[in-house]
Structure 1
Amino acid sequence: MDKQIFTVCTTDRINGALALFDSLKEASFSKFYVFYIGDMSGCRFEVDPRIEFVSSREVIGEGGEYQGKYELLSLTERCCHLKVHALHYMLKLNGDRDVSLLYADSDIYFFDNNLEFMEGSWSVLLTPHLTPDNQRDASEWATLMKSGTYNAGLFVVKAGAVGRAFCDYWINCVNTDCSIDYFRNVNADQKWLDLVPTLFYGVKISNDAGLNLGHWRVDKTDEVSCQGEVFFVGDAVIRCFHFSGYSFDQLPLVSCHSALIAEKGSALRRMAETYSSKMEMYKEFNQPLGFKLGNRFRFTKFLFRLRNFLVKFVV
């Protein structure tokens, strides 16, 4: 079975996509696609021949069927919208070939490049925010339910009838609404995944605690450990860590969405510093977006974000 990987980013954060590729460069796969929003016309650099850059304009034009609402989407929401259309592009490109397609957000970094989790007798693999070894109280469950049961930052889809049907469903969803609006129970592309296991046969829910690990599944620094270059969360090997809401200058804070601290000298701190160094290494390849978001958009999104914060954390 052929394995291919794809990600989505804006051109001012190309370094995230390249850091993701760097973390997987020793793995066994044939192609790595970077679907981007922005302008790369001035980009002149040599990369691994397995990497291919694809503009959002090639995939959805200026918003596709979502044109009327597209201008009101934030960059994050536009990336979520592009992600689903990128999956459609990948399925169409591969036709009936025996291929497994891994999507990973460009803020994910792999610490174990064994891609055996892409193999199996299922058609769609989803990664939940919580696994059976996570214990949470009802208030935390409620917050996660607003975000969605599954994390859309990493999933695997096999080419075939079920994979195409799943993609058609998801495209219809994000073309209907791809905004982040907790008041209306919508969270871009992610919340729509909640219905997938009941709508399609052949959907597997991963219980691998080390796959797509993020701040939502780690409470304390000492939950993460290491033996040499192998990292663990509990007894599970950490395949990849999702650095959602992470920025270089905020350490020891792991994410702006969480109070999780990566204490100095800890395994979690080593992971964050490794990721930071790779992001810094590829920073020179970032390109200007080539467009600006209008003032109407900025004011509207400020109101949305304020309301989302109140709904998610206060109400």
Structure 2
Amino acid sequence: MKILCYTSFTFSYLNRARVLFQTLRQHRPDWELAALITDKPPEGFVFDPASEPFDRLVWASDLGIPNFQSWLFKHDVVEVCTAVKGPFLHQACDWGFDAVIYMDPDTAALSTLEPLEQWLSEHDILLTPHLIDPNDDHAAILDNDLSASRTGIFNLGFVAIRTTGEGARFARWWNDRLLNYCYDDMPNGLFVDQRWCDHVPALFDNVKIIRDPGYNVASWNLSTRKVSVEKDGRILVNGAPLRFWHFTKLGAVGDSMTKRYAGQNYPVYEIWSWYRRLVTAATDPAIPERWWAFGAYDDGRPIAKQDRVLYRERTDLQQAFPNPFASGRGSFQEWLEHEGA
């Protein structure tokens, strides 16, 4: 089976994406790996795709999204790195691959992912739910069960499709939804791409919900997943081989949630320590922390979230200011200072 695996990120997450690609290369050297980047390199950083651990580079600006500058401005960094996943997946269905897999950049493969290929030979769409076992503890229910109810039953840090049949139909539908409705707006039923995929088992046939505990291990499911290490070095989760781990929110928040639910399950901390070392080794000091080229107006002033929300809600502003990133006379920025206040 010919498989393309991609991830979506900005340069501030290049270190994590490098680790993902390095671990995928180790365990699935036959997969083609693609980087989808919605960013521009920061000044002083020399980006050489040929030296990176991926095979294919796609800039979000080359996906053919209509009115790209205007569309991009409507999203913050998390929203846009999620939104471009749909157009990429849809277009990749025509690139000659049997299947396409998406994985978040803060993920690492820890053993062979061959079972995914077997499932993709039998199913058109693969999804991993946040939870595969119910929590009984009150705090865990609040943190994990109710969180999944708000943000989506499935974690879209992973999705895999066949490029024909229902997989292709899903990719086209996801493309349309993410181009127009990929926002962090939970009061209106949106949490980027995840809430949309709550509909997938109802809208599409031949869907496989992966309930194997070795897939998409993360802080939100450690309350029901026990990690152990065998004498031969194999890492197991509830007795099943660990396949890939989603190291979401590397830092204080991730540490807090991991400690809360890992408790004395010490192999968890060893895995996190291993991942931190890899990310540190993959970090280029020339990339400023939290760098994103589209996080500021042309004059360098940061773009406030409310500026983006106002712009996306007003078609008259979109028509008047097709490049809302511009600064100076006649710009959206100037309009905000005088009219939008």
The TM-score normalised by the length of structure 1 is 0.82
Q: Secondary structure at the match of 1:125?
A: strand
Q: Contact 2:74–2:308 at 8 Å: present in 1 too?
A: no
Q: 1:48 to 1:14 in 2, by over 3 A?
A: closer
* 1:5–1:29 Cα contact (<8 Å) kept: no
Pairwise CA distance, 1:300: 2.0
Q: Partner of 1:293 in structure 2?
A: 296
Cα gap change, 1:69/1:33 in structure 2, threshold over 3 Å: closer, same or farther? closer
Contact 2:152 2:191 in 1 (8 A): yes
Alignment match, 2:103: 104
Q: CA RMSD in A?
A: 3.0
Identity %: 20
Q: Deviations over 1:39-78 (max 9, x none)?
A: 24931364367522111111144xx378655413110110
Q: Which amino acid in 2 is paired with 1:129? A: H
Superposed CA deviations along residues 221-268 of structure 1, whole A, max 9, x for unmatched, are x92221253222221221111111113xx3xx6356666366799211
1:1-315 equivalences in 2 (<5 Å)? 1-26=1-26, 27-40=28-41, 42-44=46-48, 46-47=50-51, 51-61=55-65, 64=66, 68=70, 70-94=72-96, 97=97, 99-120=98-119, 121-131=122-132, 133-136=133-136, 139=142, 140-219=144-223, 223-227=226-230, 228-247=232-251, 250=252, 254-255=254-255, 260=260, 266-284=266-284, 287=287, 289-294=292-297, 297-300=303-306
Q: Is the 8 A contact 1:33 1:52 kept in 2?
A: yes
Inter-partner Cα distance in structure 2 for 1:198 and 1:143: 21
SS at match of 2:13: helix
Bigger drift between 257-266 and 137-146 goes to 257-266
Aligned residue for 2:20, secondary structure, equals helix
Which residue of the partner structure matches residue 311 of structure 1?
none
Q: Which amino acid aligns with 1:177?
A: Y
Mean Cα displacement is larger for which, 141-150 or 259-268? 259-268
Give distance in 1, aligned partners of 2:202 and 2:64: 28
Q: Distance in 2 between matches of 1:254 and 1:195?
A: 28
Secondary structure of the structure 2 residue equivalent to 1:8: strand
Unaligned runs of 5+ in 1: 305-315
SS in 2 for 1:155: strand
Moved more, 15-24 or 224-233: 224-233
The match for 1:309 is none
Task: Please say which of residues 289-298 and 188-197 is displaced more in the overlay.
Answer: 289-298
CA drift of 1:293 comes to 3.0
- 2: CA distance between counterparts of 1:258 and 1:48? 30
Counterpart of 1:71, as a letter, is: F
Q: What TM-score, normalized by structure 2, do the two folds share?
A: 0.76
SS at 2:228's partner residue?
Answer: strand
Between stretches 48-57 and 32-41, larger displacement belongs to 48-57
In 1, Cα distance between equivalents of 2:228 and 2:206? 34
Change (3 A) 1:145 1:286: farther
Instruction: Give how far 1:28 is off.
Output: 4.0
Higher strand share: 1
Larger Rg: 2
Aligned pairs, number = 293
How far did residue 37 of structure 1 move?
A: 1.2
What is the CA–CA distance in structure 2 between the aligned matches of 1:202 and 1:268, rounded to whole Å?
A: 34
Amino acid at match of 2:55: I
User: Is the 1:80–1:188 contact (alpha carbons within 8 Å) kept by the matching residues of 2?
Assistant: yes
Aligned partner of 1:313 in structure 2 is none
CA deviation profile, 1:4-53 (whole Å, cap 9, x unmatched): 21111102221111100111212242310000111249313643675221
Cα distance change on mapping 1:90 and 1:130 into 2, 3 Å: same
Residue pair 2:227, 2:238 contacting (<8 A) in 1 also: yes
Whole-angstrom CA distance in 2 between matches of 1:185 and 1:246 = 27
